[in-house]
Amino acid sequence: MIDYILGVPDPQQWHAQNLNLNRHHYASWMVHLGGARLITEVADDIGVGVHFNPYVSHKDRMFKYGVVRMHDLVQDILGWDRFYLSGRLQKPEELYAKICSLSYMGDLRMLFAEDKNKVKKIVQGQFKLFQTMYRPILEEFAARDCFRLSSSVDQKVNIIQAGLWIVYRLLPCVSLPLPLRNQMGIKLGEKKVFDESGRAVRKVVIKSKEEAADCMRKIVRQKVMVSSARQAVAGLLTVGVVHGLRYVGSKMHKAWKSWW
């Protein structure tokens, strides 16, 4: 199944137009009870702002597409507000796997309905793409003495070696999204400092990189747990009983195969 995320200006208007063209993509009860308005309200109020239509067949291929308000998508990417869609757009061996795994920490589906090797498969399947995407960023951090990159031809080994401890080394260098920094400040404490322009800013008190990394992981895990639970409930409501059971069944089958 091929997944798509569609960012649109107005989801309700988009669904109204799509219902005229592809009414069969939606659960029949939602179409009859409320149409585009109900579809959008369930996505926003119960889910995390995205409505998925799975098992859409086109030219002998199977698709799943999600529709989300573009503003919400951008906010989630920049601020990690819910870290649901943004985590799935960051799919960047252990360094990339660590980045990729952020969006699955706390995800309820990983307990019983996801392949335990999912993150590894994502990274291995698109490693060259991740190298192209992240190499400039790694070189920038290396120039700031956050870590060292060897000159070995085997770049994959370099990334794996860095990935084992990079979380702790990069914390002082990385500018985390503001909502995440605010939550870390509440848990770890803040202090007032002055930036280069003389303006007073609040900075998270980091006693140790290990403590900060652990705090960040707990916050992200909580965000993902809440978002995945909300979206799971919304998904079961919006796709209907048949498609819902079919989707959960296929996920559980893949999960069990990965464990046995």
Query: How would DSSP label each residue in 30-90?
Result: HHHHTHHHHHHHIIIIISSSEEEEEEEEETTEEEEEEEEEHHHHHHHHHH-SS-SHHHHT-
43 and 2, same structural domain? yes
78 and 133, same structural domain? no
Q: 61-69 and 50-58: which strand pairing?
A: antiparallel
pLDDT at 35 (0 to 100) = 94
pLDDT at 213 (0 to 100) = 79
Question: Is the predicted pLDDT of residue 160 greater than 50, yes or no?
Answer: no
Task: Flag whether 24 is in a domain.
Answer: yes
Greater pLDDT, 157 or 134: 134
pLDDT at 159 (0 to 100) = 43
Task: Flag whether 222 is in a domain.
Answer: no
- When pLDDT is cut at 50, 70 and 90, the band that residue 153 belongs to is very low
Q: Which pTM was predicted? A: 0.59
193 and 158, same structural domain? no
Greater pLDDT, 95 or 47: 47
Task: Flag whether 216 is in a domain.
Answer: no
C-alpha span between 219 and 184 (Å, rounded): 8
C-alpha span between 221 and 81 (Å, rounded): 13
Which range of 16-30, 126-140, 187-201, 208-222 scores highest in mean pLDDT? It is 16-30
149 and 68, same structural domain? no
Task: Flag whether 20 is in a domain.
Answer: yes
Bridge partners (DSSP) of residue 52 are: 66
Contact 2, 61 (CB under 8 A): yes
130 and 58, same structural domain? no
pLDDT at 50 (0 to 100) = 94
State the chain's mean pLDDT as an integer.
Answer: 75
46 and 20, same structural domain? yes
pLDDT at 156 (0 to 100) = 46
Question: Is the predicted pLDDT of residue 53 greater than 70, yes or no?
Answer: yes
Number of domains observed in the structure of the chain: 3
Contact 170, 141 (CB under 8 A): yes
pLDDT at 113 (0 to 100) = 47
pLDDT at 241 (0 to 100) = 57
H or E stretch including 212? helix 209-259
Residue tagged 């601020």 (tokens)? 79
- When pLDDT is cut at 50, 70 and 90, the band that residue 199 belongs to is confident
183 and 159, same structural domain? no
Question: Is the predicted pLDDT of residue 114 greater than 80, yes or no?
Answer: no
Task: Flag whether 214 is in a domain.
Answer: no
179: domain range? 175-205
- When pLDDT is cut at 50, 70 and 90, the band that residue 45 belongs to is very high
pLDDT at 44 (0 to 100) = 94
